[in-house]
Structure 1
Amino acid sequence: MSLDGKRGLRQDVPSRWNSTFLMIENALYYRRAFCHLELTDSNYKNCPTVDEWSKVEKIDKFLAVFYDAICAFSGTKYPAANLYFPLVFMIYLTLRQQTENEDEYMRRMAVQMLAKFEKYWLDFNVLLAIAVSLDPRYKLQFVDFCYKKLYGYNGSPAYLNVREKLFSLFLEYASNVPTTSTTTGKRGGKVVHVSPIQSFSKETKAVMQEFDSFELDEESTHSQKSQLELYLDEPRVDRSANIDILAFWKANQFRFPKLASMARDVLSVPISTVASESTFSVGRRVIDQFRSSLRPDTVEALVCTRDWLYGEKELAQMKLDELMDDVMNLDINKESMDDNRGHSQD
């Protein structure tokens, strides 16, 4: 059927739903091969019907968004917080859409899952929605888009809440990060502060200070844009671009120093406090008939290979003379034990 045979099929593990998705995904890939086998081999009686294949396709699309989330939230890579909101939004949107599915089986399953997920959705931290706005591919437009997609125009209050919290958080950083009018340099290993007007007289300094206040009056904070506003007003980066978000803010820390400081703290928030394996598995942490996929001979080969590798490493470090001494001592001890047994019998 001109299909890649190396892809292979996956076994289902009933206690782990992601293994069910992988099984279904690969089975759909070989669907034509299964149908062809049913026509050519009379002994093959277990090929799914057309209706069953249709149900499998629906479940595959449904579980795909969850699988995307588990891959992105994997604890081995420690992803930045900007990945959280888009994936959780997709899960919530998928559940809401499936509650209106014409298929009774899918609708009933989605309703039960949505009832549990909504409790989590209502309690998730707003900071994780703020994190996606610090991604130049999404910004606040994506948050607005998500809430309108979920709630229509009724989603505006939720978006405005995120926007308000974002600007409030930035003001905290802007007020706490010191801004000085001096530049620093190094002389002989010591930091020297150089003021641009240190050579002026008192009268000149007074006039210059008056100019500073004049500048603030003419260009007040209402007319000047903050670093956050300048960042949000810039065109968004192509969403399909592969961007290292931490490297982006490191490169722009001189353009937006206060905003970059806030971005580092927000993006470092861990998405999950437990490993994804523990989160998305309903099985216990024991090896049972469902979680053990290795055949006994494979396990035996792995154990023996491990012993041989470590054994060879240890034997290579031992001297041959020491090994021979140990063997001789064993023989001597054995002879003495035999003699003692003979005397005791006498």
Structure 2
Amino acid sequence: MDNVDEHDSDDMQAEAGLASYGAPRFRNKKSVAWDLDKCKPQLVKGVIRRPSTEISEHGGKFLKCSSGGRTRVGQRISASPATKETGPEDQNKSSAQTRHSISRKFDQEASCQELTKMIILHGHPLSIVEHEEMRSFAKSLNPEFDMASSTDVEEYSSILFQKLKADLHQKIAVSSHQVSLSASLFSHGSKASVKYLCLSVHFVDSDWKLQRRIIKFGVFQSSTTNLDRMIHLKEAHVLDSESGPFNLIWKAIRDWGLDQKLLSLTSVGDIRSNEQFSKLKDFLNQRKCLPIGGALYNIVCVDDVLNSVVSEEQPLLHLVGDILEKFIQAHMSSSLSQHQLVEVMTNMSLRCPQEDAKLWHKIYFGLEVLLHFKKAFPSEELLSAKDIKTVESVCNILGAFYHVSDVLCGPVCPTANIYFNELWIIRTTLEEEASTDHTELASMVLEMQEAFNKYWQNSYVWLSAPAVLDPRFKFSFIEFRLKQAFGTNAEKYVSIVRDTIWELFLEYCTAVDEPRVDRSNCDSGGVKVGGLYKDSLKDWDEHVSAQTRGQVLTELDKYLDDCLLPRKDDFDVLNWWMNNSTKYPTLSIMARDILAIPASAVHCQAALSNEGLVVHKQWCKLNIKMIEALVCIRDWIK
């Protein structure tokens, strides 16, 4: 036996010790999952033997795709059962199943439909189907598949759009008594000469889940000085009667049967300031399309408010921007400092802003990095005490704006009962920071307060109504907050909120009761007088209706008189109203509609972006009807 070096002996013992504790031994060994000969069924003495359980399971684990599917090899392996000897009968049965699988008819239409969905969902150009590489790839998957042309994809898209639109139309019709709308803008780039209006509907479905779906997409306005865009609009068949907020929104209301189902409309500033838009409310009121005279109709998009309040105060951003710039320059000079910065940012839970993020968002992120750096490395002399205090104050303000924007404009649409308290956070934060000793900063914060209070003054009614319909808060919460906001004048504002809710509830009582009254009128006996029918029991119907309405009115009284629920952060207000819909049949209908009112018209992707929402570049030159179909389908199937 060869002599073993002392160190080698120690290493061997260490390896043996590790092995005893289950440590892995590294050696070149081919995985059984890829030994296909072992995976194939074997014919032994006239009997088929299947691969062992170990091989099947091991191969299945290795060959599962990240999307949840399996490769062909993985399918073959995982489909094999545990070790089993099969006789002639089983072999015949297996052969028959195999022949059936092979002879199964290929569905060309279904494949084209799935291809169309994939193209739309990922925003690919429709012409991708005509790329030679795409055709070769499809043929390699299935030689029987005939690749569609871009014209075919347009046709499939139109058919799919009409089908999904009909399904959504039916869903809206049976789900809600009333719905809310939101109107935002899309473009095809930062310097786009054409802007598109995107109209979404918000409602609570039959499962008591909040839904947001795009229902209209069209040209909002275009620059007539841009010859190329004028030519494009002609090619896209955009008529004057089919552009602008008035025409687009009213057409959508008619097409979707919402003229008697409209509760509110939330819109961005560019739409609200349009001359056509101001005429729309009067037009809808004349046609009696809006409840309580449209008191909840014209809602200012909260994203607009937050960005205007913080962005207009540019001196505030420049004040801390200069401080932040000095900090970054001082800590980018050495690799050690850079490493420390990266370490701090890695440990932060805050998302890094996108390249096109708004300036205030980028500055807020930088201030958070600075303060986290100060906490992680307290020995570092960063800034003067005065500058640190300024940074902390501005960071608190921007943090409140970021938090509210993240909640109200996020990917998950929140119910309206949370709006009041979220915006109250901004109000109290500005109030606290306005009392700072920093005179220049205090002056800037006071200007922000004035801008925000203007929004609050115009929005407190619609913000209060959903909070009243939260059984954890009700009127007592609104009274408490409005006294803090308006002091001795609070009772006037509380009365306006109370009157608005009661007036709206009365209209709901009438609307819910009317179908019953109409049916009874049809069934009642009548006497023909002068060619007309005079209902001899009409007075009785009115008497019964009045009594029923009086009983229904007690629903709101009873709800308000009941004790408040304990406050829990994970409380599901829609689930509570669903469970109490028998106890409050009319009020629950009103609650589900009010709780669907959106605070923001902006989609989550654009909430903190300078560019806003952008139409896929590949789609911009299509017919406007096709662009609408693609945008809507993408929203409906994602």
Measured against the shorter chain, the TM-score band is 0.5 to 0.7
In the alignment, what sits opposite 2:472? 137
CA deviation vs aligned residue, 1:210-236 (integer Å, no higher than 9, x gap): xx99xx7xxx959x9711111111221
Give the letter for the 1:89 counterpart: W
Residue 249 in structure 1 maps to residue 577 in structure 2? yes
Residue 89 in structure 1 maps to residue 417 in structure 2? no
In the alignment, what sits opposite 2:392? 57
In structure 2, how many angstroms separate the alpha carbons of the residues matched to 1:176 and 1:11?
Answer: 49
Q: Is the 8 A contact 2:465 2:497 kept in 1?
A: yes
In structure 2, how many angstroms separate the alpha carbons of the residues matched to 1:238 and 1:254?
Answer: 22
In structure 1, how many angstroms separate the alpha carbons of the residues matched to 2:600 and 2:352?
Answer: 28
Q: Is the 8 A contact 2:416 2:467 kept in 1?
A: yes
Unaligned runs of 5+ in 2: 1-342, 517-539, 614-638
Task: Call closer, same or farther: CA 1:259–1:11 in 2, change over 3 Å.
Answer: closer
CA deviation vs aligned residue, 1:226-248 (integer Å, no higher than 9, x gap): 11111111221222341111111
Q: Is the 8 A contact 2:344 2:376 kept in 1?
A: no
* 1:254-269 alignment, distance < 5 Å: 254-269=582-597
1:20 to partner: Cα distance: 2.7
Q: Is the 8 A contact 1:132 1:138 kept in 2?
A: yes
Report which structure shows greater RCO (CA 8 Å, sep ≥6).
Answer: 1
1:266 to partner: Cα distance: 0.6
Task: Call closer, same or farther: CA 1:147–1:54 in 2, change over 3 Å.
Answer: same
Q: Is the 8 A contact 2:409 2:607 kept in 1?
A: no
Scaled by the length of structure 2, the TM-score of the pair is 0.34
In structure 1, how many angstroms separate the alpha carbons of the residues matched to 2:572 and 2:458?
Answer: 28
Residue 27 in structure 1 maps to residue 385 in structure 2? no
In structure 1, how many angstroms separate the alpha carbons of the residues matched to 2:371 and 2:417?
Answer: 32
Give the letter for the 2:391 counterpart: V
1:125 to partner: Cα distance: 6.6
Residue 110 in structure 1 maps to residue 110 in structure 2? no
Task: Call closer, same or farther: CA 1:95–1:36 in 2, change over 3 Å.
Answer: closer
Residue 119 in structure 1 maps to residue 454 in structure 2? yes
In structure 2, how many angstroms separate the alpha carbons of the residues matched to 1:97 and 1:276?
Answer: 29
SS in 1 for 2:507: helix
Task: Call closer, same or farther: CA 1:256–1:116 in 2, change over 3 Å.
Answer: same
Task: Call closer, same or farther: CA 1:229–1:17 in 2, change over 3 Å.
Answer: same
In the alignment, what sits opposite 1:7? 347
Task: Call closer, same or farther: CA 1:32–1:125 in 2, change over 3 Å.
Answer: closer
1:259 to partner: Cα distance: 0.4
In structure 1, how many angstroms separate the alpha carbons of the residues matched to 2:498 and 2:351?
Answer: 45
In the alignment, what sits opposite 2:408? 73
Count of residues in correspondence between the two structures: 242
In the alignment, what sits opposite 1:232? 560
Unaligned runs of 5+ in 1: 39-46, 182-208, 287-346
Q: Is the 8 A contact 1:81 1:266 kept in 2?
A: yes
Task: Call closer, same or farther: CA 1:158–1:277 in 2, change over 3 Å.
Answer: farther
In structure 1, how many angstroms separate the alpha carbons of the residues matched to 2:352 and 2:591?
Answer: 42
1:92 to partner: Cα distance: 2.6
Task: Call closer, same or farther: CA 1:240–1:60 in 2, change over 3 Å.
Answer: farther
In structure 1, how many angstroms separate the alpha carbons of the residues matched to 2:612 and 2:510?
Answer: 48
CA deviation vs aligned residue, 1:138-197 (integer Å, no higher than 9, x gap): 21112111111112122111111101111111111122213999xxxxxxxxxxxxxxxx
In the alignment, what sits opposite 1:271? 599
In structure 2, how many angstroms separate the alpha carbons of the residues matched to 1:5 and 1:78?
Answer: 28
Q: Is the 8 A contact 1:70 1:276 kept in 2?
A: no
Identify which of 500, 518, 521 aligns with 1:165: 500
In the alignment, what sits opposite 1:98? 433
Q: Is the 8 A contact 2:364 2:395 kept in 1?
A: yes
In structure 2, how many angstroms separate the alpha carbons of the residues matched to 1:74 and 1:11?
Answer: 17
Scaled by the length of structure 1, the TM-score of the pair is 0.60
In structure 2, how many angstroms separate the alpha carbons of the residues matched to 1:276 and 1:58?
Answer: 27
In structure 2, how many angstroms separate the alpha carbons of the residues matched to 1:170 and 1:10?
Answer: 43
1:128 to partner: Cα distance: 2.9
Q: Is the 8 A contact 2:344 2:369 kept in 1?
A: no
In structure 1, how many angstroms separate the alpha carbons of the residues matched to 2:582 and 2:351?
Answer: 50
SS in 2 for 1:178: helix
In the alignment, what sits opposite 1:175? 510
Residue identity (%): 28
CA deviation vs aligned residue, 1:122-146 (integer Å, no higher than 9, x gap): 3227233201111112211121111
In structure 1, how many angstroms separate the alpha carbons of the residues matched to 2:375 and 2:430?
Answer: 30
In structure 1, how many angstroms separate the alpha carbons of the residues matched to 2:379 and 2:503?
Answer: 63
1:121 to partner: Cα distance: 2.2
Q: Is the 8 A contact 1:10 1:23 kept in 2?
A: no
Backbone CA RMSD of aligned residues: 3.5
In structure 2, how many angstroms separate the alpha carbons of the residues matched to 1:161 and 1:155?
Answer: 10
Give the letter for the 1:20 counterpart: I
